[in-house]
Amino acid sequence: MQLFYTTHIADNKALLTDDEARHVKVLRKSVNDHLHLIDGTGYLYEAVITEIVETKKAHEVHLNIVSKNLQARSRDFHFHLFIAPTKQNERIEWMLEKAIETGLDSITFIQTEHSEKNRVNMGRLEKICISAMKQSGEFYKPLINDLMNFKDVLHSNKDAVQLLAHCNSQFEKQSLQDYSVAIKNANINIFIGPEGDFSETEIKQAYEMGFKGLSLGSTRLRTETAGLYATMALSAVLGK
């Protein structure tokens, strides 16, 4: 089923703009044709095209909503990934695309002691997010949060199970499979550090705040591979 994304839905009317409106044109749809819309809040809308506006400045498709149905969430846990951005943007970008396809509710980028990059392109990540949502038939749009300092994030999220993935063998760690009972139906926050890992001070601080150590297997993983591994492993271990 082809899905179109818009946040412009009110009073049984909907509006598609920009890429979404151009896509309607590419598919040669016209007035009176029916489309399926999503707005990222869990609803699936059926709508009928009432007007297509195409000028040099704007592409717009106006629709009337025919039906609106709330879709069930596909997971009974909430997964929030905290991850240091990689030096190359494209590595975080594909990680986000794949993580959304397999099951991610929120992502927050973190600035850590060993971070080499402290900027993310939010506009581009939003676009990737919407495209991945449509591709995978997800009705709930993941929340993407801009960069925060790791120390600030440490003190929030008290109601979640907080798992810190790191490679320091001095600190106790367990696998997601080991945590599977503790994290069932929970709010799960998983933290992935930069290429240089979390510092010893950061790990200590996190453990003092009640974080648990998470092992992602015996091989060395790149940051973006670790982020995706956490997402996919969680889905495999808890089902969805």
Catalog residues that contact its own copies under the rule CB under 8 A.
Answer: 74, 94, 98, 101-103, 135-138, 175-177, 217-222, 225, 228-229, 232-237, 239-240
User: Minimal distance in Å, beta carbon 204 to its own copies?
Assistant: 26
CB of 174 to its own copies, least distance (A): 11
The span from the CA of 47 to the CA of 158, in Å, is: 41
CB of 1 to its own copies, least distance (A): 10
Instruction: Pick the closer one to its own copies by CB: 82 or 229.
Output: 229
Residue with Cβ nearer its own copies (162 or 231): 231
* 136 versus 187: smaller Cβ distance to its own copies: 136
Nearer to its own copies, 18 or 76 (CB): 76
Q: How far is the CB of 175 from its own copies (least distance, A)?
A: 6
